[in-house]
Amino acid sequence: MSGAPPALRATDLTLAYGPHPALGAATFSVARGSLAALIGPNGSGKSSVLRAAAGLLAPASGTLEVPARARRGGVALVLQTTEVDAALPLTVREAVTMARYPHRGVVGRMRAADREAVATALARMGVDDLAGRQLHELSGGQRQRVLVAQGLAQEADLLLLDEPVTGLDVVSRRLIDRAVDEERAAGRTVVVSTHDLADAHRADQVLLLANRVVASGPPAEVLVDAPLREAYGGRIVPLGDELVLLDDPHHDHGAGHGHADDAHDHHPDPRPT
């Protein structure tokens, strides 16, 4: 919408976990209705930005404006899943239905629109045939698709995805990538953290982080030699005409700050934001 404020606007934003800094003095914005990719070494502040946008991490200083938070259920955060407690009696359908709580309340009656949103999200992620299964019984790829389905069912203006396809099978990756494209096409804003340069190239905008904003802009301007080397150092190597990132998303590469970001950023949580 012409003249509309951006979906995210940070001004001198500093994020921290107690004494551990995650992001320092960052100023950036994300256009409404766009797909933005957060990329950088593990522990660089990507997940902290997502948590702050969702309202789960208050700025240590500076400001982060998120207009979507003014609407109940306007922001959905999907974390990267690893394991689910087997003692948690939660079916796939129940997990996705929780996304409708912001719209109807925990004890509110499910309306036709709620049921349709849940059914559509399950089908989009290819888990409708698993609706009666316990969440802990699923494979990692299936669980991640269920959590993405939960995010989709919330029908939020701003969808935040924390490394949604890392380590997943081809089918799960394709379904999640397609859903991201569909959300953007529908005019919603999607912000996704990733370790994959190819994934980042699909975005309208890239924020390259290293506990600060190294570069921000279109992929063709950000995902080039100089800023990537500034953020990743020797983990960027040339291979023919392309740059290849030698980065393991499952290990901490941060220099002194990574543990702060990692310690708070990769725990499965089936609750909607």
Residues 190 and 77: their CA atoms lie apart, in Å, by 10
Nearest Cα residue to 60 out of 24, 10, 101: 24
Shared-domain flag, residues 143 and 162: no
Measured CA to CA, the distance from residue 214 to residue 227 in angstroms comes to 7
- pTM, two decimal places: 0.86
Average pLDDT along the chain, 273 residues, taken 10 residues at a time: 81 95 96 97 94 97 97 93 74 94 74 95 97 92 94 97 92 95 96 93 97 97 92 69 62 37 41 45
Residue 77 included in any domain? no
User: Could you tell me if residue 1 is inside a domain?
Assistant: yes
Nearest in space to 122 (alpha carbons), one of 95, 82, 89:
95
* Domain identity same for 123 and 164: no
Is 273 contained in some domain? no
Q: Is residue 222 part of a domain?
A: yes
Angle between helices 258-265 and 46-53 (to 10 degrees): 50
- Which residue range forms the structural domain that includes residue 123? 83-156
* pLDDT value for 110: 85
Q: What's the rounded Cα separation, in Å, for the pair 206 and 196?
A: 12
For the chain, how many structural domains are there in total? 2
Q: How far apart are the first and last CA of the chain?
A: 25
Residues 11 and 133 in one domain: no
Please check whether residues 262 and 162 belong to one and the same domain.
yes
Q: Which of 136, 156, 176 is the last residue of a domain?
A: 156
Same domain, 225 and 243: yes
pLDDT at 264 (0 to 100): 40
